């Protein structure tokens, strides 16, 4: 039996990279997937790939930095399917560099997408899951969300913020049967999501499909089990 049969899942940032890998694998496991990202044409391409493989998906183009668009994303999903079982907040960007050299505009852009956008999605998804009596939220953080190095200040700040949101929301969700977890990847070959397994392996980076399997694991845990965070780092990486 497919592990996510009949589940309704939203995956943000699923027009490419890790999010696309998660959307493809969720659909293969039986979920009805809502593909959400800024670029409509790439969202529709992901949906087409899912449908070609026999899965079910729809595209709802969404900019997670826009509160109204996020509310619409949740609302349209529930109007179509009646509920929301899994929300994967994957949409995010890199950037920043060394703090002394970081422009305020660059800082705001990273924080608005990675942290503020995740907050909007968490809030809207959590409210729906409270109403329906449970669900699973998976936030995409980073190894930079549990550590920080020179040149990662802005990005790390955004991802540390995601970890704080995750921990707080996990505590708040216990009373409503809502599980909230974070995945913290490092060094993912996210630009190779459509490449062959051999091409991904040759990149010597983590396969985006390994992150997708991690998301499936979190989404299929037993009723009384929750994992608060999972760090998936590259073999040989220094800590």
Q: Which residues are catalytic?
A: 155
Query: Which tokens go with 116?
Result: 């503020």
Distances (CA, A) of 75 to 11, 72, 85, 124, 183: 15, 5, 14, 9, 26
The three-class DSSP label of residue 167 is helix
Q: At what angle do helices 104-111 and 153-173 cross, to 10 degrees?
A: 30
HSE toward the beta carbon, residue 157, CA cutoff 13 A: 19
How many Cβ atoms are within 10 Å of 216's Cβ, its own excluded?
19
Query: Which tokens go with 168?
Result: 């707080």
Query: Which tokens go with 219?
Result: 């989404």
- Cα angle 35, 64, 156; round to 5: 110
Distances (CA, A) of 166 to 10, 24, 44, 173: 17, 24, 29, 10
CA 163 to CA 168: how far, in whole Å? 9
Q: Are 64 and 117 contacting, i.e. CB atoms less than 8 angstroms apart?
A: yes
């Amino acid at each position: 039996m497919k592990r996510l049969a009949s589940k309704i899942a939203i995956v943000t940032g699923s027009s490419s990279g890790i999010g696309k890998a998660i959307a493809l694998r969720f659909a293969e496991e039986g979920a009805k997937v809502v593909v959400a990202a800024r670029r409509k044409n790439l969202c529709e391409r992901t949906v087409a790939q899912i449908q070609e493989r026999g899965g079910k998906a729809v595209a709802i183009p969404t900019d997670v930095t826009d509160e109204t668009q996020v509310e619409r994303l949740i609302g349209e999903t529930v109007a179509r399917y009646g509920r929301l079982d899994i929300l994967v907040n994957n949409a995010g960007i890199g950037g920043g560099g060394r703090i002394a050299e970081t422009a305020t505009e660059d800082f705001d852009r990273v924080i608005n997408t990675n942290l503020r956008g995740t907050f909007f999605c968490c809030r809207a998804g959590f409210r729906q899951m409270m109403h329906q009596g449970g669900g699973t939220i998976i936030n995409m953080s980073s190894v930079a969300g549990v550590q920080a190095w020179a040149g990662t200040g802005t990005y790390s700040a955004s991802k540390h913020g995601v970890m704080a949101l995750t921990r707080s929301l996990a505590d708040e969700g216990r009373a409503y049967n809502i599980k909230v977890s974070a995945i913290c990847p490092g060094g993912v070959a996210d630009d190779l999501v459509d490449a062959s397994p051999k091409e991904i392996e040759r990149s010597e980076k983590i396969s985006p499909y390994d992150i997708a399997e991690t998301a499936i694991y979190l989404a299929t845990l037993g009723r009384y089990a929750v994992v608060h965070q999972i760090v998936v780092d590259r073999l040989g990486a220094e800590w």
